[in-house]
Structure 1
Amino acid sequence: MGKYVLKRLGYVVLVFLIISFLMYALYNLIPTDPARAQLEPMRQQLRPDEYQVMYQQLRQQMGLDDSLLVRYLRWLGLWTDMDGTFNGMFQGNMGYSQFFKKDAVDVIIEPMGNTIFINIFSTILSLGITIPVGIYCAVHKGKKFDQGMQVVTILGYSIPIYIIALVFMYFFCVTWRIFPVMGSRTAGIIYANSWEAFVDKLYHFTLPVIVMTFGSLGGMTRYVRSSMIEALSMDYIRTARAKGLREKVVIYSHAWRNALLPVVTSIFGWFLSIFSGSVIIENTFALNGMGRLYWQGLNNQDFELVLAIQMFYTVVSLIGSLLIDISYGLVDPRVRVNK
């Protein structure tokens, strides 16, 4: 198991380097000049010759005249800066945000926490609902509850997430006034302590979490149901029932354990899709998250910030892929991950 994990970690590092280089190269093809953008606010105060001198000095300081490979390695933190120090991504420097006028790390810390908070909670809620419902529908296949859930899951799977968000906003925010329409905190409020800040944030994030949970119920419930139906049709299930085992033991100890392997694969893939779907939710509810920040960065051509956010999503995807592979050996002992 240990050798397999180390091998997979090596693949993760290799894929990260390839993806990060491709992303860095693509953004460098965009006709922008970071040095010129940084000096632009001072242009009216400088004579043309002074501006040109400062522009050339800044380009040299930023290493913009070096080759693409050198700039990429410097961006990663594997090549020294002009002052002879390593100061890149691996050292915690994700670049400088031209729009927010501060380091990209300082910009993304709070939105990153909000995005992780929203996605983790919606994932826990979704799994807590879809797994029991999917198992119940499979066991009672063809009954009224199963037929009703089939209609509900098809609707939930077919309706776009932003339509679901608008419908929920109309009822919960406009009609019933239970939750705020948008924002991550109450405007103008001064918190007495961190607990009040957490409660206020939870109040603003409740409806987005509900929307994301509702929007993800359809696909996952159908997948759990189909996996359980396939497992319940196997010969070993009939054998277990013939032995006189209790129905709960047959369902949860035999059928569910064997249906879990394909479900685990879909869970991590579905979890990553939730992260991408949070871009829409965060923009709809005006939440201070990575998705909304990514959209702001694109609209304002803040490409260093956008690249930092892309690396965040890349790391999340690679970690999810690694967990899928490791989970095979934990869920199904027939899968020998150490070979």
Structure 2
Amino acid sequence: MTTFITRRVLQTLAVIVLLSYVCFYLMSLMPGDPVDMMVASNPKITAEDVARLKSLYGLDQPVYKRYGSWISSIMEGDLGYSRTYRVPVQELMGPRMWNTFILSFISLGLSILIAVPLGVLSALKPGSRLDYFMNLFSFAGISIPSFWLAIVLIILFAVKFPLFPAGGTQTIGAGELGFWTDLMDRSKYLVLPVLSLSIQQIGRFSRFTRSAMLEAMRNDFIRTARAKGLSRRRVIWQHGFRNALIPLITILALSFSGLFSGAILTETVFAYQGVGKLVYDSIIGNDYNVAMISFVISVSMVLLANLLADILYGFADPRISYQ
């Protein structure tokens, strides 16, 4: 197990370096570097000033040298400076990652609590009314565009029936009124984004759960367990559900990676101050440092979630060995 984890960690680091370089190169091709933006805002700037500024920021060097300088700064703990927000990147990323974690964790937990039992019930009663309803709900949740669903929720629950705020993270000054006041205020702003994310995740998770359970319940060991006189509950959860965990672990691990990478469309529509909206704003504003750090965090979370899924496979199925 130790050898497997060490090998996967080294592979993860290599993939992060490779993908970060590709992203850095692609962002360097975007029109409008920091000096160009300064020139656009100051018509009196001279060609000598432009050359001096490009040399100062290293923009006159090849991409691989600029990437090497950026990596060196990252290794020293300097994440750079945000030109858009005028603060160091580490001061900007902390609160945004915390907001995204809260939003994603609540929506993911709610989705799992609802989708898994419904998916199991649907698999145990194939062809029933519950099964047809779950299939309809699952396909609707998977097919509906996230931005459209977010806009509909805003129209219904913030415009037609003004029960919740249309967007934002918290009311200005609410954090100074005490912990519980701040918690209740933040909860109001979380309802619609959580609902938007959960509806889509419930449809996807319930569909995967149903398919995995249907396949598991058709196996010979299920008939053997029933023939041995085991209770229906033990057959379903200890034998059927445990063998259906393998595909579920995969899809849940990939969803877990979004806890820190953020939901770009949902956060942008609801103006929720998370990592997803930060990535969108940084790309639009050519804020290279923020965009690159956000990208590295997203890639790292996806790769680490895959590693976690591979490790959990061995606990879900004892037949899997990493020797």
- Taking every aligned residue pair, what percent have the same amino acid on both sides? 30
Deviates more, 1:157-166 or 1:13-22: 157-166
- Alignment match, 1:325: 310
TM-score under structure 1 length normalisation? 0.87
Q: Is 1:251 matched with 2:246? A: no
Do the aligned residues in 1 keep the contact of 2:260 with 2:275 (CA within 8 Å)? no
- Alignment match, 2:86: 101
Task: Classify the secondary structure of the residue corresponding to 1:182.
Answer: coil
Task: Classify the secondary structure of the residue corresponding to 2:244.
Answer: helix
Listed one character per residue, the Cα deviations across residues 93-152 of structure 1 (whole Å, up to 9, x for unaligned) are: 222222222222223322221112111111111111111111111112222212222222
Do the aligned residues in 2 keep the contact of 1:38 with 1:98 (CA within 8 Å)? no
- Alignment match, 1:70: 65
1:161, 1:68 → 2: CA distance?
A: 36
What is the correspondence of 1:27-106 to structure 2 with a 5 Å cutoff?
Answer: 27-35=27-35, 37=37, 44=44, 48=46, 52=48, 55-77=50-72, 88-106=73-91
Structure 1 residues 41 and 170, CA gap change in structure 2 (3 angstroms): closer
1:322, 1:41 → 2: CA distance?
A: 47
Listed one character per residue, the Cα deviations across residues 147-182 of structure 1 (whole Å, up to 9, x for unaligned) are: 222222222222222222223223322233221111
1:159, 1:142 → 2: CA distance?
A: 24
1:98, 1:276 → 2: CA distance?
A: 21
Q: What are structure 1's unaligned runs of at least 5 residues?
A: 78-87
Q: Is 1:118 matched with 2:103? A: yes
1:173, 1:15 → 2: CA distance?
A: 43
After TM superposition, give the deviation of residue 92 of structure 1 in Å.
Answer: 3.1
**Partner letter of residue 241 of structure 1?**
R
1:310, 1:3 → 2: CA distance?
A: 28
Task: Classify the secondary structure of the residue corresponding to 2:137.
Answer: helix
Matched residues, number = 323
1:326, 1:233 → 2: CA distance?
A: 26
- Alignment match, 1:3: 3
After TM superposition, give the deviation of residue 255 of structure 1 in Å.
Answer: 0.6
- Alignment match, 1:80: none
1:61, 1:236 → 2: CA distance?
A: 69
Task: Classify the secondary structure of the residue corresponding to 2:30.
Answer: coil
Structure 1 residues 183 and 234, CA gap change in structure 2 (3 angstroms): same
Do the aligned residues in 2 keep the contact of 1:97 with 1:304 (CA within 8 Å)? yes
Structure 1 residues 108 and 38, CA gap change in structure 2 (3 angstroms): farther
Deviates more, 1:185-194 or 1:24-33: 185-194
Aligned-residue RMSD, C-alpha: 2.4
Listed one character per residue, the Cα deviations across residues 208-245 of structure 1 (whole Å, up to 9, x for unaligned) are: 11211012111210110011011101111001001100
1:173, 1:59 → 2: CA distance?
A: 47
- Alignment match, 1:181: 166
Listed one character per residue, the Cα deviations across residues 55-84 of structure 1 (whole Å, up to 9, x for unaligned) are: 55544443334443332122112xxxxxxx
TM-score under structure 2 length normalisation? 0.91
2:77, 2:115 → 1: CA distance?
A: 38
2:82, 2:158 → 1: CA distance?
A: 34
Structure 1 residues 299 and 179, CA gap change in structure 2 (3 angstroms): same
Q: Is 1:18 matched with 2:18? A: yes
Do the aligned residues in 1 keep the contact of 2:96 with 2:273 (CA within 8 Å)? yes
Structure 1 residues 244 and 190, CA gap change in structure 2 (3 angstroms): closer
- Alignment match, 2:277: 292
After TM superposition, give the deviation of residue 289 of structure 1 in Å.
Answer: 1.4
What is the correspondence of 1:218-233 to structure 2 with a 5 Å cutoff?
Answer: 218-233=203-218
Do the aligned residues in 2 keep the contact of 1:135 with 1:228 (CA within 8 Å)? yes
- Alignment match, 2:121: 136
